[in-house]
Structure 1
């Protein structure tokens, strides 16, 4: 372990006069920070576009890869792909988290984006159920498993990269770019799906056009790989390596020395991943299958909501930098719990405008919660184990909610009514998020040591 003096040299940027002062000579200059931030954000966009397009086209995949006797059962089986991916997320977090803290952020994130884009493009080339029968869903789930393995290493790595390049006084703003690029990836997936549905029609979409969004992932992934390979590693990790202070077993160290941080990350991520699934992924399927709305209307509503989220996201980061992480996380959690049911009521009305308003409300609620999330989670761990600790806590929570959420929502809808079912699941998972937010220590201005 380094002595106290060496630990203090790990600061990304020494404040001068105030927390938001200019970077010290040891930190990267503003121009030097911009390129890594852009490259990390673009790579994150590529990663989550690949992950999001599966949910956007879940209704189409259900018709192509499973027997057609029961549409609800087929959709549920399609969302089993989320469960398969969720099982592999912790394994990806353990693998890539340990690599990120041992060999560096840059190389690990490059491998992550390559694996995700290759797995997504493979889905676009799979034969369907009518071609090869039961082997079609088996191969689909195998590709989803590879996507889950990759996703387990992405969130912790990209959040760590952004935080370790950001100046202390603007860390929440800089890390909010991760949430921004996740929303942007869902927007591109929704717009592409809406465009294909409107311009080509349902028959052409089912025949071959559905493959396009998946195949696009490969060139996007190569662009992300190129950008990430050109990056330098973060100043914080570079110092650790120069001081020969890279941990031999970062996973063990994180689990042994940072139990409280892991518990808080788990609580926040448990609710955050459940809300992301319900508000961004399941909402489209819910509108089409349960409410019998047109797919293109649902995709337009989702797109409008994502645009609102993109506009709001940087302001959430600024608010967390100015007023603190804890109040932003606490009040946004309360808002999610209070307004989910009205959102589903809007979506279930006869007005098309109400459907769009429901999607907008959901995305705004999610952005309020997740905009400051990357800053909160990265500030919970020191540089030695940041990638491992964050990936481990976040992905274990994400795996559990990914396994439970699709089946829990379908069960609740069947037994309680359409709008009440997903609302009850948000309330149930929100207990963990609200508890973690109440117990969250304020980390605004905290050094990344």
Structure 2
């Protein structure tokens, strides 16, 4: 490792800058879809009811995460066999071209069911690419970093996901502002996807300036690279045990904190609290801008006090405070809705046998056959919090007012909407009533939790595994955690909300995963901050 320490500082800066910029652009590509989930739902899933369409749009968003572990296996193996640099050049090209293709894809009205099918395929290609990108970039930077500064150096890679999201937000906000909401929803949403082609060219040029990792180059020169990295990494219990500990004792909790703080919060603002998309994007962007430097702060701090205490503290804080924070977010972003929920709670009374889950994967259920279905469909679409009670005949109680089902779906909907309006339930958040400073403060705190768990995670994962199988070993738990535990969080949480009627019920998912990570991490996760990277 002495050769690394002797390398000029300018070379280290170049490695961090080039690796980080390339990864920022990949995250930009990947997260555009998440930012535009509501529009994607209308463009590609218009053949089903609105609630199901939004859940489907989130499921397509999650599809990219579902295949990330497979990308980690495929590209992780290639990275351990042939090198770090060439592998993430391939992943970058695959990501950029897939994103560009989304911008060209005809919608459901033009192509029918083929449109969402092709969309999902493109998301799967993006997921495969990202599955190979992160492990390569993190390993590459860590193998260049001086001893005692790996947390600090790799923390710049950790900022890339948030910076990529921030860049995507800026482009989306700019397009929305210049085109107007109507034009943006109709066709302007394609521009951010098409813009990715330019970013791809810049990214490839940047990455081509880099040389191979010195650790890998040394192993290759000595003939010490692994001949079967996947077998060594996952078929031998000694290493597989560390993979499982890393997954459940660190990455799973990190993942749900990440996606709750930066995506679920956005969807909650826009879909549940009815804040207009442009305002929600701006508020999230401000919070990201304020909190992003903390990635580097916590990465640096992890070099001093260790990776484990910072990551587990972030998970514990999230588990304890999510419910009060999201309640405060609702009160600040849509005070009229929050006040109405407190003053005039809504209850759906019906025979449980007459109630369907508000999810229709084939688009044939109009949710108008029973009073329970009509009521829940309307309330779910409106983002109204409601409880359930058993009764022989269907009715809806809004505060002290009761509306009985008489077999006429349109009349029942009209009556419920009238009762909600009289009780003070707003159709949308009043822009003038949004307490923007408080919303930004809450969102910033949620992102600070993200920086605690995410800032040190790359250094931790790199240090857990030997150099010859590092790319493969660290990539799989990272992408199972972030691809499955984190990537499916918005879909799972909103499905939980749709099933129960409680707009906060979806938070039980990240809270439970965080609690699991804290327990497993405290008992089994080793501290790695003082380890030397094996070469």
Long gaps (5+) in structure 1:
1-10, 15-22
Cα distance in 2 for residues equivalent to 1:96 and 1:123: 23
Q: 1:69: how far off?
A: 5.7
Moved more, 258-267 or 150-159: 258-267
Asked if 1:373 is matched to 2:457, the reply is yes
- Give the equivalent residue in structure 2 for 1:107: 86
Q: Are the equivalent residues in 1 in contact too, given 2:257–2:449 (CA < 8 A)?
A: no
What secondary structure does 1:258 align onto?
helix
RMSD: 1.7
Cα distance in 1 for residues equivalent to 2:327 and 2:177: 26
C-alpha distance 435-155 of structure 1, shift in aligned 2 (>3 A): farther
Q: 1:410: how far off?
A: 1.8
Cα distance in 2 for residues equivalent to 1:228 and 1:66: 37
Q: 1:81: how far off?
A: 1.1
Matches within 5 A, 1:257-272: 257-267=238-248, 268-272=250-254
Asked if 1:123 is matched to 2:102, the reply is yes
Asked if 1:341 is matched to 2:323, the reply is yes
Q: Are the equivalent residues in 2 in contact too, given 1:265–1:393 (CA < 8 A)?
A: yes
Q: Are the equivalent residues in 2 in contact too, given 1:72–1:289 (CA < 8 A)?
A: no
Q: Are the equivalent residues in 1 in contact too, given 2:302–2:310 (CA < 8 A)?
A: yes
**Going by fraction, where is helix more abundant, 1 or 2?**
1
Q: 1:82: how far off?
A: 2.7
Asked if 1:51 is matched to 2:30, the reply is yes
Deviations 1:190-218 (A, max 9, x none): 12222222332111102221111111111
- Give the equivalent residue in structure 2 for 1:38: 17
Q: How many residues align?
A: 428
Q: Are the equivalent residues in 2 in contact too, given 1:290–1:418 (CA < 8 A)?
A: no
Cα distance in 2 for residues equivalent to 1:120 and 1:411: 27
Which of these residues, 290, 294, 298, is aligned with residue 316 of structure 1? Answer: 298
Q: 1:131: how far off?
A: 1.0
- Give the equivalent residue in structure 2 for 1:200: 179
Q: TM-score, normalised by structure 1?
A: 0.91
What secondary structure does 2:143 align onto?
helix
Q: 1:404: how far off?
A: 4.2
C-alpha distance 287-24 of structure 1, shift in aligned 2 (>3 A): closer
Cα distance in 2 for residues equivalent to 1:166 and 1:432: 32
Task: Compare CA radii of gyration and give the structure with the larger one.
Answer: 2
Cα distance in 2 for residues equivalent to 1:365 and 1:399: 19
Asked if 1:277 is matched to 2:259, the reply is yes
Asked if 1:306 is matched to 2:288, the reply is yes
**Structure 1 segments of 4+ aligned residues over 6 angstroms from their partners:** none
- Give the equivalent residue in structure 1 for 2:532: 447
Q: 1:278: how far off?
A: 2.3
Q: Are the equivalent residues in 1 in contact too, given 2:258–2:486 (CA < 8 A)?
A: no
Cα distance in 1 for residues equivalent to 2:16 and 2:46: 45
Q: 1:433: how far off?
A: 2.1
C-alpha distance 347-191 of structure 1, shift in aligned 2 (>3 A): farther
Q: 1:319: how far off?
A: 0.8
- Give the equivalent residue in structure 2 for 1:29: 8
Cα distance in 2 for residues equivalent to 1:201 and 1:352: 24
Which of these residues, 285, 292, 304, is aligned with residue 274 of structure 2? Answer: 292
Cα distance in 2 for residues equivalent to 1:153 and 1:431: 29
Long gaps (5+) in structure 2:
336-433
Q: Are the equivalent residues in 1 in contact too, given 2:269–2:275 (CA < 8 A)?
A: yes
- Give the equivalent residue in structure 2 for 1:141: 120
Asked if 1:352 is matched to 2:422, the reply is no
